[in-house]
C-alpha cells in the first residue's frame, strides 16, 4: 500500500518557516497499518496562533490537535502506541504530565519526554505520535 496523506481541517498544519509558503509537512501519513502524526503544538486550528502561555492550556490544545488528526484517519487515543514530547522548560513537566493524564483519561501509551527548544516562539510543548490501525 502506498503511503496515504491524512489531513484534518480541525488541526493546524505545522512546519511553516514563512506562512506565505506552503508547509513541506503532512499532518499525518498512513504507511501500512501505522499512522505517523507530525508534531503538533498549542496552535489554534484556524489562526495558527499559540493559544496561551500556560503549559496546561498548551498541553490540552496540543493533544486536541493530535486527536483531530487521529480522527481524520478514523482513529483515537486508544490506537496510539507511542508519543514523543518536547518541553521547552523541563520544570513544566509536573503540570504537563497532569494535563496529559487528564486528557488521555486513563488511556496508556509509551512516551518519551525531553527538554528542548520548539522552533516557534511561545510554543512550550510539541507532541508527535504513532498509532496503529490494528
What CATH number does the domain containing 100 carry? 3.30.1330.40
- Residue 26: how many CB atoms within 10 A of its CB? 18
The count of domains in the chain is: 1
Specify the pTM: 0.94
Q: What is the pLDDT of residue 1?
A: 75
Instruction: Evaluate whether residue 86 is within a structural domain.
Output: yes
66-120 per-position pLDDT tens digit: 999 999 999 999 999 999 999 999 999 999 999 999 999 999 999 999 999 877 8
First vs last C-alpha separation in the chain: 15
Domain that holds residue 44: 4-11+26-132
Could you write out the three-class secondary structure of the chain? CCCEEECCCCCCCCCCCCCCCCCCCCCEEEECCEEEEEEECCECCCCCCECCCCHHHHHHHHHHHHHHHHHHCCCCHHHEEEEEEEECCHHHHHHHHHHHHHHHCCCCCEEEEEECCCCCCCCCEEEEEEEECC
Amino acid at each position: 500500500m502506498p503511503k496515504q496523506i491524512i489531513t484534518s481541517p480541525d488541526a493546524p498544519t505545522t512546519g511553516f518557516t514563512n506562512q506565505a509558503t506552503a508547509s513541506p509537512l503532512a499532518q499525518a501519513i498512513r504507511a501500512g497499518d501505522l499512522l505517523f502524526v507530525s508534531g503538533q503544538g498549542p496552535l489554534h486550528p484556524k489562526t495558527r496562533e499559540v493559544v496561551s502561555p500556560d503549559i496546561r492550556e498548551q498541553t490540552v490544545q496540543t493533544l486536541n490537535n493530535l486527536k483531530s488528526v487521529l480522527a481524520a484517519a478514523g482513529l483515537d487515543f486508544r490506537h496510539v502506541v507511542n508519543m514523543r514530547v518536547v518541553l521547552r522548560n523541563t520544570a513544566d513537566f509536573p503540570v504537563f504530565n497532569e494535563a496529559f493524564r487528564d486528557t488521555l483519561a486513563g488511556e496508556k501509551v509509551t512516551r518519551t519526554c525531553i527538554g528542548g527548544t520548539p522552533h516557534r516562539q511561545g510554543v512550550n510543548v510539541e507532541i508527535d505520535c504513532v498509532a496503529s490501525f490494528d
